[in-house]
Structure 1
Amino acid sequence: MSLQRILRVSLEHPTSAVCVAGVETLVDIYGSVPEGTEMFEVYGTPGVDISTSPGVRDQEHADTGRWCFDAGLQIVVVMNSPSNDLNDSHVQISYHSGQEPLAYAVLYLTCVDITLDCDLNCEDRRDSGFVDKRQWVWRSSGYGAVLLELNCDDQDNCDRHVRCLQDLEDMSVMVLWTQGPVALFDDHTLVLHTSSCDTKWARVFHACGDSCPSCPAGGGLSFPTWGAQALDSGPAQGNQQVNAISIDQVLSNENLISYNKFVQSCVDWNWEVLKRELGLTDGDIIDIPQLFKMERRKAVAFFPDLVNMLVLGKHLGIPKPFGPIINGCCCLGEKVRSLLEPLGLQCTFIDDFTLYHKLHGEVHCGNIVRRQTFSFRWWNMVP
């Protein structure tokens, strides 16, 4: 499943973006709105399909491409054919007060067609059009998904490790088909993503060395349950290599324990400052479990930093900690739930391990939230 992107346009300069054929893209028309706007009009060049979400029932407005300015209306853009040149299509948004145009915003689009195929029968068949994956339905009642065979021929005797080129050739060669302007691919890189919980079922391997084939290969490692997810091509993550660490290993690591005692002393010092300056008490502070390690003389999160969450009203987007599993549940996640949900907050844990955590960030670092401002201007506050 593709993630739906949001593109923001500007009144000050044109915006350029790349879209994937057949994938819906939301266009944010509210980021730069001239004062006095009553209606807006959207026009797209041939090949650009424009609709609204939710759908507009007013047929007259839908036919003319002009709508009343409503903060709940979203513009959805889809291109179904790849571009011939960079920025060869565009969407123009005009803001109106009555019949008078107030300002214009232009979004230039380059469309690329991307298909990830797999020679699942090892027949050296790599033509991109012999299956239509748009009709596939995932999960146990679905149909069309690729089933990768286990790498367990007689020679390697069910060895789970890829030790030689022959092991790689046992697998299903994967081919990425792209169609679009040649110049677009000069600064774009292929990244394949498998969720961390599915790396025990299937992985993507690539041979190293000048004499090895350049195509990646997909292979099954063990028989999955129907809880296994799909392998997607995407703009973010790579093949995750996560080493499991036991509780005993953590408790026996004297350097880690010593360093976290030092970090806790720093946290305690900050608590005292906050309580003194803001008049807080111990009851105003919630302890969230977290371990740290030292890298380059800095403290970084040992597991995804639970405190570095995204707050959306009563909804919390919290980095998934991948803590020890006790009675079928992550004990760290359950501890956080027990602390925050009694306050009327809803906790949702998000896997950001490769996207942000490994780059020393978390969910909060990778998102910008547009919030409703306070009516009172804080800079006028007198202590």
Structure 2
Amino acid sequence: MAPHRALQLSLKKPTYAVCVVGVETYVDVHSHAPKGARTFRVSGSSGAKVFVVYDPARVTKPTDQEHWPLEASVDVVVSVTTASKNVGDVKVKVSYFKQEDDSALGRSELYLTGVDISLDVDTNRTGKVKRSQGDDKKSWSWGPKGSGAILLVNCDRDSPRSKGLDLANSKLMSLQDLQDMSPMVLTCAGPDQLFESHKLVLNVPFSDAKRVGVFCARGGNHLSDYKQVLGPQRLSYEVERQPGEQEIHFYVEGLTFPDADFVGLVSLSVSLIDTGSHPEVPLFTDTVTFRMAPWIMTPNTQPPLELYVCSVIDSHGPNEKFLVHMDDLAQKTRCKLIVCPWTENRNDRWIQDEMEFGYIEAPHKSIPVVFDSPRNRGLKDFPYKKILGPDFGYVTREIPFAGPSGLDSFGNLDVSPPVTVGGKEYPLGRILIGNSFPRSGGRRMAKVVREFLRAQQVQAPVELYSDWLSVGHVDEFLSFVPTSDQKGFRLLLASPNACLKLFQEKKEEGHGHAAQFDGLRHKKNQSINEMLADRDLKSDSQYAQKCIDWNRKVLKQELGLTEQDIIDIPQLFSVKGSYAEAFFPDMVNMVVLGQYLGIPKPFGPIINGRCCLEEKVRELLEPLGLHCVFIDDYLSYHELLGEIHCGTNVRRKPFSFKWWHVVP
């Protein structure tokens, strides 16, 4: 560490100074040297490190290594190795000479008091604070060899006495809440007498004050033993050091996620200030930097933990049969089923649209966090009132002026499995957002949501074209499923071409009279012959295929996929006005629970006692080790322009990969 101040010497009286352990300080041997002096000699007592800094191109090192020439290119630097037990117990002496063999012309004495001041955090990302040296703790770096401390946004609610998120409280409401915070340790060793004329001040920059809170711990087991000392309303704190105290412990919480106006980095510093001088002089400052943990989505390839679905009642009655199917699917995958009752969802069944599950992680802890969409329909209170709780966080983004569009629902938000694109790794996958491209002036996901997702950095979003659909969500034409091969997943795309090809094959095999919607009382049957002869249906599906092909190209480019990574799932679309809708239940709009797929039953033409659409999907997916479970969602979901994925939501296991190892 480069010296940052110089100590002035005197021939008439000793000089007293405070030095922080490990910090180098210049000693000015020139300004008060006696008249006629040409050389000097410097020595230090135990606990002092003294060395001479010189330019070897201009100065010859003395043969006796003691009598140094007294010229501008020669300087003295001192530091102390340990904290002093008493004031001034480390001594440095400088003697001045006219010639090397002469008696000293004068002597200066320097009495140093060593104080050990260090602000330390978990820069090594082990979950524990370790003493750091140098400037490393001021910086933050990504990657497997990176360093720097991490903060969790304290967005859960650990105490039932708390009315909102824990981050909104200036007082500690639960000792459990400390586990959501990152530890920070202030070392402050030195003689007690020294701290009668010096103070330690903890600071947070004004720009960071609204993003971070700091609690001081006094080691007790009562809430009153922890008080907030820094935060939005307090930028500095004079540390209350007790006699003999060598370490003071703090807990640091994050208050805001990275966003368009916040890169995610915050800093805290401590300063040793000499209160005996006027004005007060800071002698030393130590600074640490944290990065706020990003919100991370989990793809279908991650194991399921909880399956959410709504109980609703409509003109066809309750969706009890659908709930039974969901319960059976959850049991097959040992996944917990959570049913949101009608009284809580107010007959809003689209739980996928209301929220998205993710998580935040620091080296010492990981917690799930639900991202509440701005759609604000019947389910708008469910994430906050029923999911937010101890070790379950909550975040949302509200649209400030205009109301949300259909593209602001989170059926329009997905994430790919981990991919490598042109040599660049995305070990946490890439977020997928549906927008109006390539159409101009269409619907888009709200800017505040897109900016939030982009600011998390670790899952660089990709924008797709979904505005061609009536509802406008990416889950209407794509899904990912896990596989046990080296690739680890397949991308499923809805494919009108694959469907028309399948129907043409069945016609040529003599099954042209087999009917779509066979077995549905509320829908008129259409034979394969009729569907293939329906110019409007064929034209509409070809339009849909062009839109899907546009996305296919983007997905291949942005996710580094080949054609072998994509499976085309038969699907037809019909256009109503300017937008397309699924002609029969949209099979890619499925719920993925491990190897089990809950797929909308397509009610396709029955050939040899089997639905040819179901058989085709089984033929495509079951060789990959997947189990296709076809579920009737026609009346409760499909007729309302949604399917199984729209009506369910899954919380999944977080990645084992640590996000701080990403290189954005």
Give the letter aligned to residue 52 of structure 1: V
Give the letter aligned to residue 49 of structure 2: D
Shift in CA distance, 195/8, structure 1 to aligned 2, threshold 3 Å: farther
Query: Per-residue deviation at 1:207?
Result: 8.5
| Alignment correspondent of 1:193 | 203
2:75 is the counterpart of 1:74? yes
Query: Per-residue deviation at 1:93?
Result: 1.0
Does the CA-based 8 Å contact 1:194-1:203 persist in structure 2?
Answer: no
1:143-222 aligned at under 5 Å gives the runs 143-154=146-157, 161-166=168-173, 169=178, 170-206=180-216, 211-213=224-226, 216-222=250-256
Shift in CA distance, 210/200, structure 1 to aligned 2, threshold 3 Å: closer
Could you report, residue by residue, the CA deviation over 1:169-214 in whole angstroms, capped at 9, with x for unpaired residues?
A: 4533433223333433344322113333433443434599993336
Question: How far apart are the structure 2 equivalents of 1:139 and 1:102?
Answer: 52
Give the letter aligned to residue 253 of structure 2: G
- The structure with more radius of gyration: 2
2:48 is the counterpart of 1:48? yes
Secondary structure at the counterpart of residue 184 of structure 2: strand
Could you report, residue by residue, the CA deviation over 1:245-293 in whole angstroms, capped at 9, with x for unpaired residues?
A: xxxxxxxxxxxxxxxxxxxxxxxxxxxxxxxxxxxxxxxxxxxxxxxxx
Give the letter aligned to residue 165 of structure 1: L
1:188-267 aligned at under 5 Å gives the runs 188-206=198-216, 211-213=224-226, 216-223=250-257, 228=265, 230-236=267-273
1:365-376 aligned at under 5 Å gives the runs none
Question: How far apart are the structure 2 equivalents of 1:150 and 1:187?
Answer: 38
Does the CA-based 8 Å contact 1:82-1:179 persist in structure 2?
Answer: yes
Question: How far apart are the structure 2 equivalents of 1:63 and 1:196?
Answer: 54
| Alignment correspondent of 1:112 | 115
| Alignment correspondent of 1:86 | 87
Give the letter aligned to residue 149 of structure 1: L
Richer in strand (by share): 2
Question: How far apart are the structure 2 equivalents of 1:33 and 1:172?
Answer: 51
Bigger shift: 229-238 or 187-196?
A: 229-238
Does the CA-based 8 Å contact 2:120-2:131 persist in structure 1?
Answer: no
Secondary structure at the counterpart of residue 27 of structure 1: strand
Secondary structure at the counterpart of residue 26 of structure 2: strand
Query: Per-residue deviation at 1:65?
Result: 3.1
Question: How far apart are the structure 2 equivalents of 1:198 and 1:56?
Answer: 46
2:70 is the counterpart of 1:61? no
Query: Per-residue deviation at 1:80?
Result: 1.8
Query: Per-residue deviation at 1:77?
Result: 0.6
Does the CA-based 8 Å contact 2:167-2:254 persist in structure 1?
Answer: no
Question: How far apart are the structure 1 equivalents of 2:78 and 2:109?
Answer: 13
Query: Per-residue deviation at 1:94?
Result: 1.4
Question: How far apart are the structure 1 equivalents of 2:63 and 2:167?
Answer: 57
What is the RMSD computed on CA atoms of the aligned residues? 4.0
Question: How far apart are the structure 2 equivalents of 1:186 and 1:153?
Answer: 41
Bigger shift: 162-171 or 91-100?
A: 162-171
Identity over aligned residues, as a percent?
Answer: 33
Does the CA-based 8 Å contact 2:151-2:253 persist in structure 1?
Answer: yes
Question: How far apart are the structure 1 equivalents of 2:267 and 2:53?
Answer: 27
Q: How many residues in Structure 1 have an aligned counterpart in Structure 2?
A: 235
Secondary structure at the counterpart of residue 105 of structure 1: strand
Give the letter aligned to residue 170 of structure 2: R
Shift in CA distance, 172/234, structure 1 to aligned 2, threshold 3 Å: same
Could you report, residue by residue, the CA deviation over 1:56-112 in whole angstroms, capped at 9, with x for unpaired residues?
A: 576742862321111233211122222232211111111211134211111111112
Does the CA-based 8 Å contact 2:30-2:70 persist in structure 1?
Answer: no
Query: Per-residue deviation at 1:9?
Result: 1.3
Does the CA-based 8 Å contact 2:122-2:183 persist in structure 1?
Answer: yes
Secondary structure at the counterpart of residue 185 of structure 1: helix
1:284-363 aligned at under 5 Å gives the runs none
Does the CA-based 8 Å contact 1:51-1:76 persist in structure 2?
Answer: yes
Give the letter aligned to residue 36 of structure 1: G
Question: How far apart are the structure 1 equivalents of 2:271 and 2:34?
Answer: 35
Shift in CA distance, 195/211, structure 1 to aligned 2, threshold 3 Å: closer
| Alignment correspondent of 1:23 | 23
Shift in CA distance, 12/199, structure 1 to aligned 2, threshold 3 Å: same
| Alignment correspondent of 1:37 | 37
Shift in CA distance, 183/4, structure 1 to aligned 2, threshold 3 Å: same
Secondary structure at the counterpart of residue 107 of structure 1: strand
Question: How far apart are the structure 2 equivalents of 1:188 and 1:207?
Answer: 22
Question: How far apart are the structure 2 equivalents of 1:180 and 1:112?
Answer: 5
Question: How far apart are the structure 1 equivalents of 2:105 and 2:49?
Answer: 24
Query: Per-residue deviation at 1:23?
Result: 1.0
Shift in CA distance, 14/211, structure 1 to aligned 2, threshold 3 Å: same
Could you report, residue by residue, the CA deviation over 1:128-163 in whole angstroms, capped at 9, with x for unpaired residues?
A: 7x4544583624368332212222114575575433
Give the letter aligned to residue 206 of structure 2: S
Does the CA-based 8 Å contact 2:215-2:226 persist in structure 1?
Answer: no
Shift in CA distance, 154/53, structure 1 to aligned 2, threshold 3 Å: same
Question: How far apart are the structure 2 equivalents of 1:211 and 1:229?
Answer: 27
Query: Per-residue deviation at 1:53?
Result: 3.3
2:106 is the counterpart of 1:103? yes
Question: How far apart are the structure 1 equivalents of 2:196 and 2:182?
Answer: 27
Give the letter aligned to residue 105 of structure 1: S
Flag structure 2 segments of 5+ consecutive residues without an equivalent. Answer: 228-248, 274-281, 286-664
Question: How far apart are the structure 1 equivalents of 2:211 and 2:2?
Answer: 21
Query: Per-residue deviation at 1:219?
Result: 2.3
Secondary structure at the counterpart of residue 147 of structure 2: coil
Flag structure 1 segments of 5+ consecutive residues without an equivalent. Answer: 239-383
Question: How far apart are the structure 1 equivalents of 2:22 and 2:214?
Answer: 25
